Structure 1
Amino acid sequence: MSTDEDLFTDPPTTADGVIEAVAEAPIDAVRLQFTDILGTVKNVTIPPDQIKKAFEEGIYFDGSSIEGFVRIQESDMRLEPDPSTFAVLPWRKSDDGTHAVRLICDVIDTTTGKPFEGDPRYVLKRVLDRAREMGYEFNAGPEPEFFAFATDEGTATLEPHDTGGYFDLGPKDLATDLRRDVIFNLEEMGFDVEASHHEVAEGQHEIDFKYDDGLTTADNVATFRAVVRATAAEHGLHATFMPKPVAGINGSGMHTHLSLFTSEGDPAFYDGDDEFDLSETGKQFLAGVLEHAPAITAVANPTVNSYKRLVPGYEAPVYVAWSDVNRSALVRKPAARTPAASRIELRSPDPTANPYLALAAILRAGLDGIERDLEAPAPVRENIYEFDEDKREAYGIDTLPGSLGEALDALEADDVVLDALGDHVAEKFLEAKRQEFAEYRTSVSEWEHDRYLETF
C-alpha cells in the first residue's frame, strides 16, 4: 500500500502505478497540467476516482478557451497524462493530511486521435525525434532567475523584499528561508537542485537544478515557475519571472546549457585535441545557434519587456558571437571538468519563454548547423561591451533584435525556426505576439507623461 512518505520517496512512473497510488494513498485531487502556446501553465483538476478513466480514455476539455489552441468549431481536445511526471504538490496539504498531485499531459486532437499540433510539448517532442534520427540525444540545463517583491494586502508591489546583492549573506539577504523552502518543495517533486544564491539586483535570486533530457527539462522549467510562485505566496511575497520589472538594475535571464550525446551515450560536443575541447559537431551546432539567433530570440525572449533586459550595460548578451573566456558574447563555452560536461551556454533566453518552444527552436537551429556543416566563427576573447560600432562591424558581430517587433520579423523570415514550431504554433504565436507589440506601441507610458506632458 502506498503511504504518504512513499509518494515523495518512491513516486510511481507507470499508469498502473499511478492508478494504484491514487487509490491507496491520501490523495484528494489530481491536477492534469498542460501549457498553452504562450507558456502559461493550465490545469484541469479531477477527483481521484477519475484517474483510471484519465489514462484509459483521456480527459476532454474545451480547447477554444486556451490561447492559440483552436477555433470554437474545433474545440474538443483530450488530455493524456504522462505517468512519468507524477508528483505531489508539497505546499498543498489539507488539514486532514490529504495531498494534491500533478501529472503533466499531452494534448490530443479528438478529430484525428493524433497529438495536437498546437501542443508545445508535442512541438518539442517532434524536434527531439529529429535529433534521434540524426543519432543524438539532447540535454539542457537552465538557470532561471526571478525577483521576489513585497505585497500590499495581497497585491504585488515593486518593493524588493531585501537589499542583498550577488552571493550576499544575511542580514542583507532576507530570502534564505524562501530559497530553502523552494528547494525543499522542488526536491520533494523530484528535482536535483545543484545551487541557489542571491543574484545581483535587490530581491533577485537564482536556483539551479541539474540538466536533463530536453523534454524533462522543459517540464521542469514549467514546474519550477509554479513552485517558486506558490512558495513565495506562502511567505507573503510575490515572485515574478518578468525579465525587467525595475529599470536601472539587472534583469532576470535563463541562461541555458546545451549538449548532445550520441545514441551510444558518448558526449558529442567533446574533443580533447581541440583548443576549446569542443568537437566539430559542437562547433557546427554552435554555428547553427548563432545563425538563427535573431529568430530564436522571438521565442526565447517573447515579451515586450524582454527587450528592456536585452540592452548593453546590464550583463545581458546582445552580441551574436561566442567566447570561452568572457560573458559579453551570446554563447559561452564553459570549461568542462569531464568529457560528459562539455557543453555550450546560450545566455539570451529569459524565464518568460515557453520552455518547450524555446528548446525546440534552439535545438532545431543547432541541428541545422550540423546538417549543413556550418563553420563556427572565431571566438571573441575581448569584452564586446567595450567595442564601438565600427569595431563590432570589423569583427562581423551582429546585434540581437532590439524589440519584440524586430524579433518577430526575424522569426517570420527564418524557415528553420518556423519549421521547428510547426505551421499551427508559428501562426498562432506570431498572431498573438504581433497583437501584443501593437498594443505596446499604441500605449502611453508614465515615462512619456513625465518627459513631455509639461514640456510641450
Structure 2
Amino acid sequence: MDQLQDDVIRRVTDHDVRFIRLWFCDIVGTLKSIAISPADLETAFTEGVGIDGSTIEGLTRSFESDMLLRPDPRTFELLTWRGTSNATARMMCDVLTPDGEPAASDPRRVLKDMLARVEQKGLDFYTHPEIEFYLFQEPYRNGRALQPIDHAGYFDHVHRGNGQDFRRAAIEHLEGMNIQVEFSHHENGPGQNEIDLRYADALTTADNIITLRTVVKEVALGMDQVATFMPKPMIEHPGSGMHTHLSLFQGGRNAFHEPGAEYGLSRMGRQFIAGLLRHAGEYCAVTNQWVNSYKRLWGAQEAPSYVCWGHNNRSALVRVPFHKPTKGTSSRVEFRGLDSASNPYLAFAVLLAAGLEGIEQEYELPEGSEDAVWDLTERERQAMGIEPLPTDLFRALESFEGSELMARTLGEQVFEFFLRDKRNEWSRYREQVTAYELDATFGRV
C-alpha cells in the first residue's frame, strides 16, 4: 500500500467512519455506489471490490459480467450530511476488468486517457464550471404544473428566501468535502440557482460535479424541496446549462495567453477554439445527451443555437472572456453549450479532443461574431459562415455516428453503447403522444 492509502485508513479510524461508499458512474453519468466496511478497505485498495457489471448500463458487454472497483485514495472525503457519529465517507473509483486492466467502458477512464495524451505534450487541462439547476416545491407528477420555490430572477437577493438558505447549506457541505466554491447566486428562472466551482484539473472537476449534483439533491430533500438538473424543465423559463471555462497550461504558464494579442488569446488558444467550432456537431450528442437538451439549446434564452464564437456575444457557442487583460492566468475559453445534466467525464474528454484536434491540425479560427446570432436572418448567418447546432437528438446522433474523432476519443465500446442507448431514447420519445398534440389536434380532425 502507498502513503495515500495509509492516510485514508488512518482518517477512517480518526473519524470513526462506519461505511465507505465507493462511487462510480454509468455511461450517461448516473451515480452508482456500493458500501464497504473499514475492515474491507485495505483489500479494496490492493485487489479491488468485485461487482456484477452486467447490471450497469453500458459497463459490460453481454458476454461479460465481473468487474472490479478500485477506489482512488485522493478522493476520500466524509459525507458531511450523514453526520459525524458512525460517519460515512466516499471515494471515486476506477472500474477494472477481472485481470486488473482499466475497463474500456469506464467514463472516468475515457477522460483519464485523454488527459494522459495531453500530458505527453507537456500540457495540463483545467476547467471551471458554472452549474445551474432548479429547485421545486415537490416532485413532478404527471399533468401537474411545476411549482418553483420562488419567483425571483437573475442575481436577485430574496429576503429570507429558501434559495439563499439552500445555497448556504449546499456550499457548507461542498467545502466540508474540500470542494472549493467560487460564486453562488439566484439565476434568471424562478427557483433557478447557480453554483460555480473553482478552477481545477479536469478529472478533479468531473469528480466534483458528480459530488455537487449529489449534494444538491440531498440538501433539497432535507429541506422538503426537489432539485433537478434537467436542461429545460419549463417551457417559458430559461434552461439549465453548465457554462465551463477551459484552459491549457504548459510548465505552469497559461498556454492560451499571449500579451498584446486580441483578447490576450494565443495562437494555441485560437486553434483550440477552432477545433471546438469545427467538431461541434460531432460532440453535441455527448455534451447535450438528452432529448430535452435541445429544448434548451433552441430556447433562445442565452443558450447557444449556432456554431460561432465572440467576446461579448452570449448567444455564441464559445466566448472569450476578457475580465482581467493584464493577468495572464485568466485567459480562457468559455464553452456555453454544455448541459448541467451531461456526463462530465465524457463531456470534458470530447471537448478536449476537439480543441486538441484544432491545435494539432492548425485550424484557422474564423471571424468572431458580436451580433446576437438569433437576431440575424438566415441569409446573414449563411453569409457569415455560421452553421446551426443540431436541432434535436436525432440529428446530433447522425453527426456523432459519422465522427472518427468521437469514436477514437471514446473508444469502441463506449462509442457503440452510447449511440445505441441514445437511439433508443429517441425512439421512445418519438413514440409518445404528447399533451401538445392532443391539445392541438384532437378536436380539429
1:231 matched to 2:235? The reply is no
| Cα pair 2:287 2:342 within 8 Å, conserved | yes
1:203 matched to 2:191? The reply is yes
1:254 matched to 2:242? The reply is yes
| Cα-to-partner distance string for 1:94-148 (whole Å, 9 max, x where unaligned) | 7xx22100000000011x4210010000000111011112221100111110000
1:356 matched to 2:345? The reply is yes
Residue 42 (structure 2) aligns with = 52
**Aligned partner of 1:443 among 423, 427, 432:** 432
**Aligned partner of 1:122 among 105, 109, 115:** 109
**Aligned partner of 1:148 among 131, 135, 152:** 135
Residue 5 (structure 1) aligns with = none
Q: Which amino acid aligns with 2:249?
A: F
| Cα pair 2:245 2:333 within 8 Å, conserved | yes
**Aligned partner of 1:341 among 294, 305, 330:** 330
| Cα-to-partner distance string for 1:46-78 (whole Å, 9 max, x where unaligned) | 112111111111100000000111135310000
SS at match of 1:91: helix
| Cα pair 2:140 2:146 within 8 Å, conserved | no
SS at match of 2:131: strand
Q: Which amino acid aligns with 1:125?
A: K
Residue 311 (structure 1) aligns with = 298
SS at match of 1:276: helix
1:128-139 to structure 2, matched below 5 A, reads 128-139=115-126
Q: List alignment gaps of at least 5 residues for structure 2.
A: none
Q: 1:172 to 1:385 in 2, by over 3 A?
A: farther
| Cα pair 1:22 1:51 within 8 Å, conserved | no
Task: Give % identity.
Answer: 45
After alignment, is 153-162 or 333-342 more displaced?
153-162
1:29-428 to structure 2, matched below 5 A, reads 29-93=19-83, 97-110=85-98, 112-151=99-138, 158-171=146-159, 173-262=161-250, 264-337=251-324, 338-428=327-417
CA distance in 2, matches of 1:328, 1:308: 15
| Cα pair 1:183 1:193 within 8 Å, conserved | yes
Q: Which amino acid aligns with 1:455?
A: R
Provide the TM-score with structure 2 as the length reference: 0.96
| Cα pair 1:28 1:99 within 8 Å, conserved | yes
**Aligned partner of 1:26 among 16, 34, 41:** 16
Q: 1:412 to 1:241 in 2, by over 3 A?
A: same
What RMSD in Å do the two structures reach over aligned CA positions?
1.7
SS at match of 1:143: strand
Q: 1:61 to 1:285 in 2, by over 3 A?
A: same
CA distance in 2, matches of 1:117, 1:303: 23
Q: Which amino acid aligns with 1:377?
A: P
CA distance in 2, matches of 1:13, 1:235: 39
Displacement of 1:23: 2.9
Q: Which amino acid aligns with 1:164?
A: A
Provide the TM-score with structure 1 as the length reference: 0.94
Q: 1:172 to 1:318 in 2, by over 3 A?
A: farther
Q: Which amino acid aligns with 1:35?
A: C
Displacement of 1:248: 1.3
Displacement of 1:171: 3.5
| Cα pair 1:295 1:417 within 8 Å, conserved | yes
Displacement of 1:211: 1.3
Q: 1:340 to 1:198 in 2, by over 3 A?
A: same
CA distance in 2, matches of 1:77, 1:313: 44
CA distance in 2, matches of 1:328, 1:57: 49
SS at match of 2:166: helix
SS at match of 2:79: strand
Displacement of 1:341: 1.0
Q: 1:152 to 1:74 in 2, by over 3 A?
A: closer
CA distance in 1, matches of 2:322, 2:100: 46
Q: 1:179 to 1:13 in 2, by over 3 A?
A: farther
Displacement of 1:196: 0.5
Aligned length: 441
Q: Which amino acid aligns with 1:84?
A: R
Q: List alignment gaps of at least 5 residues for structure 1.
A: 1-11
| Cα pair 1:13 1:86 within 8 Å, conserved | no
